[in-house]
Amino acid sequence: MKLITAIIQPDKLDEVREALIEAEIERITVSRVTGHGKQEDIDIYRGRKIVPNLIPKIEIKIACNEEFVEQAIQAIISSARHNGGELGDGKIFVTNLERCYRIRTGESGGTAI
Amino acid sequence: MKLITAIIQPDKLDEVREALIEAEIERITVSRVTGHGKQEDIDIYRGRKIVPNLIPKIEIKIACNEEFVEQAIQAIISSARHNGGELGDGKIFVTNLERCYRIRTGESGGTAI
Amino acid sequence: MKLITAIIQPDKLDEVREALIEAEIERITVSRVTGHGKQEDIDIYRGRKIVPNLIPKIEIKIACNEEFVEQAIQAIISSARHNGGELGDGKIFVTNLERCYRIRTGESGGTAI
Amino acid sequence: MTIDTGTTAWMLTSTALVLLMTPGLAMFYGGLVRTKNVLGTMMHSFSAMAVIGVLWAVIGYAMAFGTSRAGIIGWDSSFLFLNAPFDGMLSIGDNKCIPEIVFVMFQGKFAIITPALISGAFAERVKFKSYLLFIAAWTLLVYFPLAHWIWGGGFLTGEAIDFAGGTVIHISAGIAGLVAALFLGNRIGYPRNSMRPNNLVFTIVGAGLLWVGWFGFNAGSSLSSDACTGQALAVTQIAAATGALSWMIIEAIDNNKISSLGIVSGILAGLVAITPAAGSVAPWGAMVLGAGASVICYFALKMKEKLGYDDSLDVFGIHGVAGIFGAIGLTFVMKPDATEVGFLKQLQYQIEGVGIAILYSAAVTLLIIFVINKICGFRLSPAAEKAGMDHAQHGEHGYGFVNLD
Amino acid sequence: MTIDTGTTAWMLTSTALVLLMTPGLAMFYGGLVRTKNVLGTMMHSFSAMAVIGVLWAVIGYAMAFGTSRAGIIGWDSSFLFLNAPFDGMLSIGDNKCIPEIVFVMFQGKFAIITPALISGAFAERVKFKSYLLFIAAWTLLVYFPLAHWIWGGGFLTGEAIDFAGGTVIHISAGIAGLVAALFLGNRIGYPRNSMRPNNLVFTIVGAGLLWVGWFGFNAGSSLSSDACTGQALAVTQIAAATGALSWMIIEAIDNNKISSLGIVSGILAGLVAITPAAGSVAPWGAMVLGAGASVICYFALKMKEKLGYDDSLDVFGIHGVAGIFGAIGLTFVMKPDATEVGFLKQLQYQIEGVGIAILYSAAVTLLIIFVINKICGFRLSPAAEKAGMDHAQHGEHGYGFVNLD
Amino acid sequence: MTIDTGTTAWMLTSTALVLLMTPGLAMFYGGLVRTKNVLGTMMHSFSAMAVIGVLWAVIGYAMAFGTSRAGIIGWDSSFLFLNAPFDGMLSIGDNKCIPEIVFVMFQGKFAIITPALISGAFAERVKFKSYLLFIAAWTLLVYFPLAHWIWGGGFLTGEAIDFAGGTVIHISAGIAGLVAALFLGNRIGYPRNSMRPNNLVFTIVGAGLLWVGWFGFNAGSSLSSDACTGQALAVTQIAAATGALSWMIIEAIDNNKISSLGIVSGILAGLVAITPAAGSVAPWGAMVLGAGASVICYFALKMKEKLGYDDSLDVFGIHGVAGIFGAIGLTFVMKPDATEVGFLKQLQYQIEGVGIAILYSAAVTLLIIFVINKICGFRLSPAAEKAGMDHAQHGEHGYGFVNLD
Ligand SMILES: Nc1ncnc2c1ncn2[C@@H]1O[C@H](COP(=O)(O)OP(=O)(O)O)[C@@H](O)[C@H]1O
Ligand SMILES: Nc1ncnc2c1ncn2[C@@H]1O[C@H](COP(=O)(O)OP(=O)(O)O)[C@@H](O)[C@H]1O
Ligand SMILES: Nc1ncnc2c1ncn2[C@@H]1O[C@H](COP(=O)(O)OP(=O)(O)O)[C@@H](O)[C@H]1O
């Protein structure tokens, strides 16, 4: 099992979710984060341009079995891009998931995903 | 060392914390997330029922030494269930933790947990 | 590749970011969390002292190649300490990062970090 | 003629109260949209204070309350920049008067809030600069003429009863909103994705301020500080309370849950319905109008679901529907002495007034939107709409604290 | 008799100001509870505007200010639905009058805010529909009679000094809150878990609105627009400022930290204490009452900690305690001409008034809660309480923006 | 002499409106700072209500409006604790009067808001107790004398036109803010790190309340309820609208984006500039002042960037600059009959008044800060500043809901 963590732009959340659902991945956990990368995002404060250090992003976490990893990643990459790829579009990180439990039933392993 | 990530219902936070303390796990990190799973949660907007896509959840992160993993998981499973198990009660993910540092002292490894 | 997760005090965020930039680590993801550890933090409510269970913290996530891990950890430890180390200064966790993708380009691996 | 300081004091207070409605509306609407559009939505109200505030002083009062030219529009060049009205006096009978400038300011607040009301219909998806053009044009071409016709000596003055602007304000704004919403189309993702209020807490407080401000709106419209004023305030209060209570009951029956947005929707429906009637009904009449407005609006919103158009914050569903209901419904519950022409004739006048407001507002609004859309585009680009108005158009974020400082 | 437009204007304004207090209270209370209950808590105030707003017009004014039947309750069938009062006049001396309907509306706002005040005592744990029943019954059985006894010609009228409702409103609400809190028991987890305010920023603004509204509350209660009005406003202002300053000093001594909730608690304590006394004291007296109220409330809250009962938002601790202190304390600092019966007699009257209000409110409140609890249950199910009132009962979330849109 | 109930009513209302400005200011400032300082910043306003509220009643009115001693300061021992003024009457001409206590309370609100305004200049970095000392001392040594000189019979009375406090309030506060900001130095990290508003939504609503309250501020300053009052209200409204519109246009040209903070900054600039002039200009003059103030403030803020000092919430940049512009600029656009001494003489008076206010406020402010700093330190420790005022000094968190309950 793998744990996929994707950082995407907030305005792409709906599209990414739909793409994942098409890829048969329905269970996800989402949170607000802020990120710093190559992208710059200018705000205005009383006539002054300010470049915030941290830009709002969305983090999506997906636990899934090996056979779904590839299609999840492809679904995210293709749906999270702006115009074929812009600065700030985000990252995907994959780590190993050793164990997984469903609290409701207590069952564990691949079926608990 | 392992890193345990549990997604639970917000109203169970207090109970889970108490169960963990009883299991001698006192250090945790908690954050607000929203999740999508099998559970549905209906809101009302001007007479219309709306099914939000994302439901508020709580994520708990616990870093612990191997010998505590099992009791931590049992504590969470037994305290986070609604009436013996309902949709939306959540998940527990366990990943491997390679290193751990305590910023205060700079020490690392199992004693820094 | 490794994934570094650091929990620090909120007032240290700016300093830690500067230290990371000096250590040539520019891409990070930051989020608000709350934590429970050894530290106590007293609030006042109508003349009564209340000890909140959970104290606001900042979580920083950094994905980086092996050769940067050590300097990242050192940068965080030295910049996140209050007066040479106080309760509540935080923790650093390091896990293994198996894969990494840049959404913009689709490239993966060490260059996508 | 001597100045009646008491009436003047109440008119000054009413002016302040009606001004308070615009921030109240900004809160109400601001809380209902999604986080990424909260500032842009509030700016729709605040920019009306700026744009129409200036327009009213420059030319608006002249057009609405200047000497009537053939009943179509007012005009007095001495009214431009409020030159003459600044020192004028307005008789209120009994050899008493109030300073005309107070009346000018009171009326000016109505001109401000009307276009701000419309903005809820096309929330979250228009270009700010086009919006500014739109409200300026709409106020010039729709609001000033309508106000003139019904209040300022135009061809409807003295016919339709419209105490505080049910027709001039709520119907015209509701219809304009409907036309605009249909013309501009739905928000991206509507109705498939749930679009939930970012801050209902804020919306509720906004509704509270609207209720308070409405006392100035209705009771100020009596241009007096006597029994008539008190009665207008009383029926306003009663209709609002009944509207809220009725909505609560309907929700309890229909859903078994009473929502906070339901209470405030009922408050608004009641307030809108009583607006034209505040000088003509007794407390029981106010209850009938308040309750009726809630019922009819509730089902109008259900209907909207079915039809699928995106009147985002229900400008038509609340202001349009309750406004029409109040304007026509008042004939059935008015006090016997409220009309001099008899029930049937008055009913005809009311229907005429409503009909003309609907047709005129619909036609001219469509024209204005069409032209603006041709010239500079009215709707935001999809990218900007997805990113949110606040960041894309205004370079700001409403709640800095949600992210990190 | 001619209408005094100036006094009418001020009474209209006061009515608007007192109405503003209810949204202010909703903000104040709403900010103090936990996130999951913010809307439900605000609805306790807003639903009072709906329910009591209607009740007052239908029957309340008749019961409180109708012809007194044996000093026990008022009644005039012509007062139902405000039929007669709608056109009546109220003499204010000097051959001047104000429209009675203005007085009716002003008094109606007091009837609305009183049950809303109580709701803070059992915040976060009651069923909404039972709450609606409760406030309707409580207003009918406790508030209307009390208002009649002390203001409306009942058996206490002319005895106890209660300028703007210290006894009728704050003591009765404070005691009712205490009884309800004891009957319903503590919130789950109280006092073990810390239950921190979700939005102090909001609470502070709410307190600001309460202060502003209180000017209408107290200075409006003079039913005039002259020196007496100004004096009532002045002592209100001074007591609020002194209350706040005193609380700040106590906190600085006791804790070495001055908190924002402390400042606003002091403001409220001062305002409550001056309410019965606003017509009887000079500025120095207002200072004594304001400072004394803060000291005594501060220690009352400390005492609550010890006793361990859950008067969640300190309705008894602030309104009850400061109300009693003000009602009795005013005798010691009143202006010489404030009483015609001498100090001792007046003191006796005050204690009598307070005692009767306490006993009556306690007894009848207990009865009402008991009956409602039997019929349909008053307290939320533990599951709903843990999930939060907003979602469980109202199907809403206050701060959508905290989660994702 | 009889009491004019109408004028009294308006003055009471104005008092309530000006009181509303302080919570409004708390919202405005509170929204602009960083999350960790939101409560501390709001407490700067609320504690002024407490401290100056008491100070004014005890000694302030005596110093500002007591019998003038050599034109330097007022004094009447019978004014202490408002003993005499509590029952006094104030003639308003025509054999009419209003209760003096109403005037006392109205003026008291001005004394409260002035030091609260200053607090924006050193936001996010001062010790709360030192701040309390500072506002007490500043009001005693700067505000009361200035108010006496210009309004209370002092040596400038009757010379400089200052209708509602451009010089006494805005210039003196703006300059004091500048001096304090320079003395205390920049916030840690300023200007390197971006310090973004925690809650612009809140700031905008605060600005709305300020606008509403300003009607009391300016139109109340006429001490009447007649044409003069209406005119003051009208030019206030027009200047605010023009200020907002102008700022929007400037931003559109300079940045191509119109921001919500821009609109409200324009509103404030317009309101400040019209304050001294509200009795002397016609609508077109108000437009000139409003537009001019926005232009000049916009560039003043740009200049601040360059100079690099940290007037955190632009107290000098808005209140100081627009205040000076309004006080001097009014001479160029005033109505012919606004002065009896001719343009040049009046211009001289205005410049004199402004110059004296600047010099006096700068000198005494510096002295006060210097002394307080010596005694107990004015600036927060770096650790407390980084942790935030709310937690470090007040033991609270503004938005509990952002963290977990
Ligand atoms: N190495 C990294 N570690 C942690 N977060 C990262 C990393 N790289 C990117 N991110 C996250 O992804 C977001 C987008 O990154 P960005 O640098 O704009 O993408 P790109 O690599 O395509 O230039 C950042 O704001 C940050 O939150
Ligand atoms: N595979 C997964 N990946 C990420 N998050 C998950 C996954 N499965 C469950 N979750 C999280 O747990 C929450 C509860 O899941 P749910 O589907 O209701 O439980 P169950 O599996 O018992 O039906 C979800 O809202 C989501 O946040
Ligand atoms: N074992 C752990 N698992 C998860 N989070 C932890 C753990 N230990 C510490 N933390 C996080 O780090 C923060 C600081 O920890 P604290 O206990 O104060 O440090 P120390 O270990 O130096 O006493 C905590 O509030 C918590 O959020």
Say whether residue D244 is in contact with chain E using an 8 A CB cutoff: yes
Give Rg (Cα) of chain F: 20
pLDDT tens track for D236-288: 999 999 999 999 999 999 999 999 999 999 999 999 999 999 999 999 999 99
Q: What is the mean pLDDT of chain D?
A: 96
Question: Which of D188, D179, D191, D174 shows the shortest CA–CA distance to D307?
Answer: D191
Residues of A in contact with C63 (CB under 8 A): 91, 93
CB-based contacts of D352, cutoff 8 Å, min separation 6:
D156, D159, D160
| pLDDT at residue F34 in the model | 94
Name all residues whose Cβ lies below 6 A of ligand 3.
B 27-29, 61-63, 102, 104, 113; C 7, 35-39, 55, 57, 87-91
Give the three-state DSSP class for C106: coil
CA distance F308 to F289: 28
pLDDT tens track for E353-403: 999 999 999 999 999 999 999 999 999 999 999 999 999 999 999 998 876
Chain A residue with the nearest C-alpha to that of B2: A98
pLDDT of A51 above 70: no
Residues of F in contact with E223 (CB under 8 A): none
E323-329 mean pLDDT: 98
E75-90 mean pLDDT: 97
Please say whether the beta carbons of C66 and C113 come within 8 A. no
Please say whether the beta carbons of E128 and D258 come within 8 A. yes
For residue A63, what is the DSSP state? E
ipTM of the complex: 0.96
Give the three-state DSSP class for F309: coil
| pLDDT at residue B113 in the model | 86
Please say whether the beta carbons of D282 and D261 come within 8 A. no
CA distance F313 to F276: 22
**Which residue ranges of chain D lie beneath pLDDT 50?**
405
Q: Which residue has the higher pLDDT, C32 or F293?
A: F293
Q: Which residue has the higher pLDDT, E94 or F192?
A: E94
- pTM score of the predicted model: 0.96
Say whether residue D32 is in contact with chain F using an 8 A CB cutoff: no
**Which residue ranges of chain F lie beneath pLDDT 50?**
405
E76-95 mean pLDDT: 96
- % of chain E surpassing 90 pLDDT: 95
CA distance F158 to F349: 10
Query: B94: CA distance to ligand 2 center in Å?
Result: 14
Chain D residue with the nearest C-alpha to that of F243: D50
Instruction: Please indicate whether, in this complex, the C-beta atoms of D230 and E38 are within 8 angstroms of each other.
Output: no
CA distance D263 to D246: 9
CA distance C109 to C65: 9
Determine the longest span between alpha carbons in chain A, in angstroms.
58
Q: Where does E33-95 have alpha helices with state H?
A: 38-55, 61-65
pLDDT of C26 above 90: no
pLDDT of C52 above 70: no
Neighbours, chain B (3 or more CB pairs < 8 A): A, C, D, E, F
Q: At what angle do helices F100-118 and F172-184 cross, to 10 degrees?
A: 30
Question: Which of E210, E289, E322 shows the shortest CA–CA distance to F46?
Answer: E210
How many helices (H) and strands (E) chain B has is answered by: 2, 7
Neighbours, chain E (3 or more CB pairs < 8 A): A, B, C, D, F
D75: left (phi over 0), alpha (psi -120 to 50) or beta: beta
Query: D142: CA distance to ligand 1 center in Å?
Result: 51
| Residue appearing with tokens 């307190």 | E207
- Helix, strand and coil content of chain F, in percent to the nearest 5, comes to 70, 5, 25
Instruction: Please indicate whether, in this complex, the C-beta atoms of A82 and D383 are within 8 angstroms of each other.
Output: yes
Give the three-state DSSP class for D73: strand
For residue E171, what is the DSSP state? I
CA distance D202 to D29: 9
Token couple for D32: 């209902």
Of D255, D260, D283, the CB nearest to E43: D260
CA distance C20 to C75: 6
| pLDDT at residue A52 in the model | 66
Q: Say which ligand is closest to the CA of C24.
A: 1
Of E394, E395, E404, the CB nearest to B34: E404
CA distance F236 to D16: 12
Question: Which of F49, D304, D374 shows the shortest CA–CA distance to E243?
Answer: F49
CB-based contacts of F218, cutoff 8 Å, min separation 6:
F163, F164, F232, F233, F235, F236, F274, F275, F278
Please say whether the beta carbons of C63 and A59 come within 8 A. no
**Which residue ranges of chain B lie beneath pLDDT 50?**
none
pLDDT of A47 above 90: no
| pLDDT at residue E2 in the model | 94
Question: Which of F291, F275, F282, F288 shows the shortest CA–CA distance to F327?
Answer: F275
Chain C residue with the nearest C-alpha to that of F386: C11
| pLDDT at residue F403 in the model | 65
Hey, what amino acid is at F184?
A: L
| pLDDT at residue D405 in the model | 46
**Cis peptide bond prior to F197, omega within 30° of 0:** no
Residues of A in contact with B56 (CB under 8 A): none
pLDDT tens track for E215-259: 999 999 999 999 999 999 999 999 999 999 999 999 999 999 999
Residue F244 CB neighbours (<10 A): 31
Please say whether the beta carbons of B76 and B6 come within 8 A. yes
Query: C61: CA distance to ligand 3 center in Å?
Result: 16
| pLDDT at residue F1 in the model | 86
| pLDDT at residue A26 in the model | 87
CB-based contacts of E179, cutoff 8 Å, min separation 6:
E361, E362, E365, E366, E369
The four Cα atoms A47, A49, A54, A60 give a dihedral, to 10 degrees, of 80
| pLDDT at residue E405 in the model | 46
Of E34, E201, E242, the CB nearest to F405: E34
Question: Which of E4, E389, B51 shows the shortest CA–CA distance to D193?
Answer: B51
